Amino acid sequence: MEKKGSVLMLRYEVGKLLGQGTFAKVYHARNLKTGDNVAVKVIDKDRVLKVGMNEQTKREISVMKLLKHPNIVELHEVMATKSNIYFVMEYVKGGELFNKVSSGKLKEEVARKYFQQLVHAVDYCHSRGVCHRDLKPENLLVDEEGNLKVSDFGLSALADSRRQDGLLHTTCGTPAYVAPEVISRKGYDGFKADVWSCGVILFVLLAGYLPFRDSNLMELYKKIGKAEVKFPSGFAPGARRLLKRILDPNPNTRISTEEIMQSSWFRKGLQEQKESVDEETEVDVETIANVSGEKEKKRCINLNAFEIISLSTGFDLSGLFEKEEEKEEMRFTSNREASEITEELVEIGKERKMKVIKKEQGWKVKMVAGAAVVEAEVFEIAPSFHVVVLKKSGGDTAEYKRVVRESMRPALKDIVLAWH
């Protein structure tokens, strides 16, 4: 990977180095089949394992696979060798938003456009249970059309990362952009902390400098804790009012992303566009019968060759970090129709007094079984040949394993070709 012009996995021609961090390097590359430009993030597996960052890397993969939004950098695929893990991602040619504000403030309408796109992306993340935790201009990219793209989910957290008090406790992020409650180390709501960071970014876009500055870190934290913002002259009144509600040191009274999007300053000049987002709504299982099989069939996800290969034990990325018995995911193949598989899962759940939710987007069934949440998704490999993935989407791991192995596996025997 170090050599320009080398070919990765017979799929990507590697180009110039775009940037690097402690554990990873990012290269420009070209898809040999399609000719499309991509960015390839190369992570040194030995270094990641040595410093105990395997869980963080797995979480970043999980989060990026979960998010599909026009203002979020898309993860195309993940590959691995004995020494490296490769993230193949959308290539954003315009560079960092930081470069646009490094020479001074932006015009109000330009700053507002970037802020609108940022808040829409963050609100989408939050709707999927993801908080970014390191929002700053360096992690915001701008494409050739001037659209913002949120990147770097290495410090992100999912809803199930919270402790029993419902809060996150890992202090992380960039000092100038972190919320007061993160510094306090008493636990914090990751969604509220993201909103604070968005406010700091908006201030930087409009003023050209940070709202809280000090070369001494402890003094900086004191200023953040007091949240005494001094606005420069000529600052737009609407933006000033909005920022006072965002940069509220009390997370309980701080404005939410939904409220931000309803504010008059935010909505000014906003063009309503239908976003190409993978919208996912939950409906009760009783509505399944009202959906025609033909319509559902079009939603069944077809796996590409790489995804099919990755389902095998030898190419499963989780095997890089954990033992087989520790996995929180099980799979089986079936020659039944997707509708039959889904209906069988629903019936099994109802018979065992689980709370069952059929997701309208795709072939997914979520089952809440006591202290565990099991999510099943059906993937089509060929007509009448499917792979079903059963994974823990929340709750206790031991209970998830017990439910799947002792309760669901025996009940599914009539539709299962083989477990993997």
* C-alpha torsion sign, points 231, 234, 239, 241: positive
Q: How many residues does the chain have?
A: 420
CA torsion, ordered 256, 392, 306, 48, to nearest 10 deg: 80
The 10 Å Cβ neighbour count of residue 220 is: 18
Residues 370, 190: Cα–Cα separation, whole Å = 26
Known binding-site residues equal: 50
Distance from the first to the final alpha carbon of the chain = 32
Q: Which of the residues 123, 134, 152, 194 is marked catalytic?
A: 134
Show the CA angle centred on residue 366, arms to residues 318 and 388, nearest 5°. 50
Do 164 and 182 form a contact (C-beta atoms < 8 A)?
no
Known binding-site residues for ATP equal: 50
Tokens found for residue 171 = 């202090």
- 160 in catalytic set: no
Tokens found for residue 400 = 């998830």
Residues 64, 153: Cα–Cα separation, whole Å = 7
DSSP run (H or E) holding 332: strand 329-334
What are the catalytic residues? 134
